[in-house]
Structures are given as C-alpha cells and as structure tokens.
Amino acid sequence: MNAFEELLTDLQSPLILAELLVLCACLGLAWLMTWAMGRGAERQSILFGRRTFDGLLFPLLSLVLVYAVKLHWLKVQHAPLLTLAIPIFSSLAVLRLTARVLSVVFPLSKGARAVERGVFWLVWGMAVLWITGLAETVGNELDTIQFVVGKTRFSVLHVMEVVCSCSVVLILTLWLSATLEQRLLNRTISDLSMRKVATNSLRALLLMMGTLMVLSLVGVDLTALSVLGGALGVGLGFGLQKLAANYVSGFVILLERSLRIGDYVKVDGFEGRITDIKTRYTLIQAGNGSESVVPNELLMTARVENLSLQSSNLLLNCVFTVGLTSDVAQVQSLLVNAALSSELVLPNPAPSAMLVEVAPQGLRFQLNFWIEDATKGQMLARSQVNIAALKALSQAHVSLASAAQEVFVRQPLVNSLS
C-alpha cells in the first residue's frame, strides 16, 4: 500500500485532523522564519524572491520541518499526509530554485522560460509517480530499455540520471556564480570591464568543476577526456581558429581595458557606444539606435578610434564661407558666440573659429566646439550652432559667399553653319 492509498484509508480517522493541524503549523512556522530572515534581504533574491515567501527558502524550511515532524510521528502511528507533503515540497523547492536562478542569470531570455516550463512538467510528473508508488515500477522498466554505444551499454534510466545530475549541478553552479557576483564582485571590483571578465572566468571555472564532478559521480572515466582534449586542441588549431581567436581576443580586451563598456568608438566605419563585451563579440550601438555585432578579433587587429579613452567629450565642427571683404575678427567673434549660445556646447574647452582657406569664392572658416556626450545629440548640436551662426551673420550684415558657377554660351546652329 503506497502513501496515497494510506491517505485515502486514513481520511475517515479522527487523527487525520491532528496531522492536518501539525502540517499547517509547520507551514506557519516556515513562513514566519522566512519573513523574519527576509526583512533585511535585498529584493528579488533567489532565497526570498520578490515577496519574501515566493523564493527558495520557504519550501526548503517547510520540507525540513515536515520531515522532522514525520520522523517523530512515525514512532507513534502512520503519517500519510506528512508523507505526501514531502514530495510536494521537494518538487516546489526544485521549481523555485530553477525559476529564481534562471530569472536572475538570464532575465530576458525566452529559452530560460522554455526550460522552466519543461522542468515544471518533469518535476511534478516525478512527484506524481512518487506519490502513487509507480516510481519504482517505471524506473525498472526504463532500466530494461538499453542501447549500446561502442563497447559501452547504457540504459534509459542511466541517461536520465546523468541528465538530471548535470542539470542540478548546472543550476547550483549558476546560483553560486550569481551569488558571488552580487555579493562579492559588485562590491570589490568597481570597473565594469574587470567585473565582466571576473564573472565570466568564475562561471566557466565553476561549470567545469561541476561537470567533472558529475561525470566522476556517474562513473565516467575522466582519463578518456585527455583524448577528447587533444582532439579539441587540433580542432581549435585548424577549423576553429577564428572562433578561438575571438574568444582569446575578448579576454585580452577585458584584461587590458583598452576598450571598456560605455566607451564611444569608431571601428570599420561604424561609430557608436560599446554596450556589452562578450567573450566572442562586442556590441556597439550607434546614435540612431542600430546595433552592430563586431568580432573581438577585429577589435584587436583593426584600427579602432576610442573617442572616450581620455574623455567622453567629442569635438565637432561646422564650416562657413563668407565674402572676401568680410572682417575676419568680427566673423570669428560671431561664430564663437553662436556656438556658446547652444546648451549642448561646452564652454571649456572654449569654441574656436579658424580661417582655414582664402579662395576666390570667399573666406572659409571652420568652427570647432566640444559636446559632453557623443550619444546625446551630435546632429542637434550642429543644427543649433548652424542656426545661431546664420542668424548672427545675417544681423551683422555679413554675406555668405556663393559657389562659383561656369556659364557656357553656345552659338545658334544657323550662325555656325553660315
């Protein structure tokens, strides 16, 4: 008789009410403990969730309390209700852990939501098999379904155990890396690029250690990985050399800090701000909203203009051509004052107007000025300065030079024939 059949049999017993009250008391105590420990915790953490009790800690405490009461209760009589509560709270704890870790590590990923739904159905399906007592029967049937790979024989049950073990280790590793990143790296490393490389290195190290531990636990001979490592090295040396170069270049960029997240750069004709540096590529967002994916190897081998290496200020210029009889000093003063009239132009360094060319068409001036941030209106700054300069030149009766035009006069065809 399984626990579910025992529950149906004992439902008419007056002691089932006492068991229900004990279960409610365990839930109430777990909620109070979670609320007390979560008052000073940060919001949306893995343990406490968004509303303190919807995280991982509440089902874990409930599971521990119910299991402890069950051990004591079994010394007196059967506890079918508490026995049923254990797989339910175990499943809830696994679901909370998976959902919270995926939401923290991959907050915008649609694939994480699909994984979460798959884990939901898998975990509750296993809980149902456990409650109904069919878990052992289904396990024996899956163990009889075997297949051979090379000289090794595997069963479906063994493969499922390996997949579940790897999934648990992966979730725990992501949880540990996210916790260390939030509590340690964010507080000790202020530079965003160094924090990024530390996070990636820590996550890769933890995943590798977890994978090796799982393979060892399930009986995989780790000495065979040396052959795989050698084959992988050959593959990286030939077919995957570009991919390996991008990964190595990504770590070099993050370690050297020649390019940092937030820098305004120009590479391969594309100009914008670096929004993220991945291990394989870098994302650069232009002022119009378009985003470019640049391989890290290109950033190491090509010429990159980092306009934010020393300062985030950006130099802009506008060109004006006035008549040959214009007063040079007056035009320079008018252009500088026109630039300073824009709120986007920085007063320091001060704008400057240079006479760059004297031609038959007129005097050509170049007005140089600085703005604070390249992403906050380059075209708007130029427009404001051009409008102010045209207004100032017009009020001072300074005429703009017109472009030279050549006029060709052709004789009528009749005159040419005569």
217-231 confidence digits (pLDDT tens): 666 666 656 666 666
**Confidence (pLDDT) at 193:** 60
Assess whether pLDDT exceeds 80 at residue 319. yes
* Tens digit of each residue's pLDDT (9 = 90 or more) over 65-82: 888 888 877 666 767 777
Q: What is the pLDDT of residues 10-29, one digit of tens each?
A: 656 667 778 788 888 888 89
Q: How far is residue 210's CA from residue 232's CA, in Å, rounded to a whole number?
A: 20
Amino acid in the structure at residue 29: L
Instruction: Provide, rounded to the nearest whole percent, the portion of the chain with pLDDT above 90.
Output: 8
pLDDT in tens, 30-60: 888 888 887 665 555 677 766 666 678 888 8
Beta carbons within 8 Å of 198's beta carbon, 6+ residues apart: 185, 189
With tokens 């760059």, the residue in question is 356
Span 187-197, pLDDT tens digits: 555 555 666 66
H or E stretch at 223: none
pLDDT tops 90 at residue 5: no
**pLDDT greater than 90 at residue 210:** no
The structure's pTM equals 0.48
Which of 23-27, 128-132, 346-350, 356-360 shows the lowest mean pLDDT across its residues?
128-132
**In the predicted model, is pLDDT for residue 281 greater than 80?**
yes
What integer best gives the mean pLDDT of the chain? 76
Q: Which of 99-108, 134-143, 300-309, 342-351 has the highest mean pLDDT?
A: 342-351
CA nearest neighbour of 277 among 301, 302, 256: 256
> 403 vs 30, which has greater pLDDT?
30
In angstroms, the Cα distances linking 347 to 147, 235, 343, 378 are 77, 57, 9, 16
For residue 156, the model assigns a pLDDT of 78
Q: What is the pLDDT of residue 391?
A: 92
60 against 255, higher pLDDT = 60
Q: What is the pLDDT of residue 20?
A: 82
Is residue 308 within 8 A of residue 265, CB to CB? The reply is yes
Give yes or no for residue 329 having a pLDDT over 80.
yes
Helices (H), 79-152: 80-105, 110-132, 135-144
Does the pLDDT at position 150 exceed 90?
no
Selection from 50-59, 121-130, 239-248, 347-356 with the highest mean pLDDT: 347-356
User: From the centroid of its chain, how far is CA 268?
Assistant: 25
pLDDT mean over 139-168: 75
Asked whether 389 and 320 are in contact (CB, 8 A), the reply is: yes
Tell me: pLDDT of 417 over 80: no
Write down all domains in the chain, each with its CATH number in brackets: 1-133 (no CATH), 260-306 (2.30.30.60), 314-395 (3.30.70.100)
- Better pLDDT: 387 or 86: 387
Highest mean pLDDT out of 70-74, 219-223, 277-281, 379-383 = 379-383
